[in-house]
A and B are shown apart, each in its own frame.
Chain A
Amino acid sequence: MAKKAKSRTISVRLLSMAMTGYYMTFTRPRQHRPLSMLKYDPVVKKKVLFLEQKRGGSK
């Protein structure tokens, strides 16, 4: 039986680099480069860098 085809897009988690544990979830094309953006972190009440969490491993 053929394997189920992988979806074209994936949902990824962007973590706050303020190390507050705050994160946001986005959807991006699977082949796209990892997301990164400046967003507001309500814990430190500042705009900080959010980077995409590495996938795989325990996920």
Chain B
Amino acid sequence: MAAVAHEHVRLAQSLPRQLLHFFKRFPPPQLSPGAPPPRPQTVQVVSDTSSSNPNAGGATIEVPADDPSPTPLIQNAKWKRNPFLAHKNPTTGNWHAPHYSLRRQADLFRLAVEYNVLPLMPESPKHPEIKAAKRVEQGLRVKGTGEGQRVKGKYWERTLKSRLEVRRKAMEAMPDMIRTWKETGHGRGWKKYPRGRTLPDNRRKGRGVLEYA
């Protein structure tokens, strides 16, 4: 027992100030003497941004199980075990922001990785494992290319295919048209002249899409 305590003291002396302060305020349950490790409970945090859950990070986060006797003190302790997640007060229904901002969480995790104390850190959106899992799940996602999404595109992009098709057909008929035009005396007696078709009002820019009449 004394050896374990000695080890903890040595660990504490080697840690930087920020991590030490964090572990003092929110002692990791693994280091508390005699306390059984908390039963992990899987909480599915959906990545729906419209959700009112501020913990929505698109990752499965394991948080300690609910205590059977929810007295205010225990609730507070439970929250303190997850100072990186927003907490919903079950009595009032109010959400309380995480004790540490995402920026400070990222700073702490960076230090935790550096000093090899990552297993002592609570779950957080900035946890490297959770971040890696999220990266695997989402991949290199480009907006609009996911399942059930589509890119609207600009007007010229949406109409490009049909316009190129019209152009291709016109170019196929061009040699015949030029031959006819030459045979009729370079325009003498030519009757079919094009009419510029005007665009809808919201697309009118002075130059209309042309229609051969």
Contacts and interface: CB of A to CB of B under 8 A. Distances in A.
B210 A49 contact: no
Contact of B196 (A15, A35, A44, A48): A15
Most buried by A among B188, B194, B209: B194
Nearest to B192: A51
Nearest to A48: B174
Interface stretch (B12-20, B84-92, B139-147, B163-171): B163-171
A49 B173 CA distance: 11
Contacts, number: 67
Given A17-B170, A46-B171, A53 B195 contact: yes
Interface string A10-34: 0001010111110100000000011
7 contacts: A15-B196, A17-B170, A17-B174, A17-B212, A23-B207, A36-B190, A49-B177
B207 A21 contact: yes
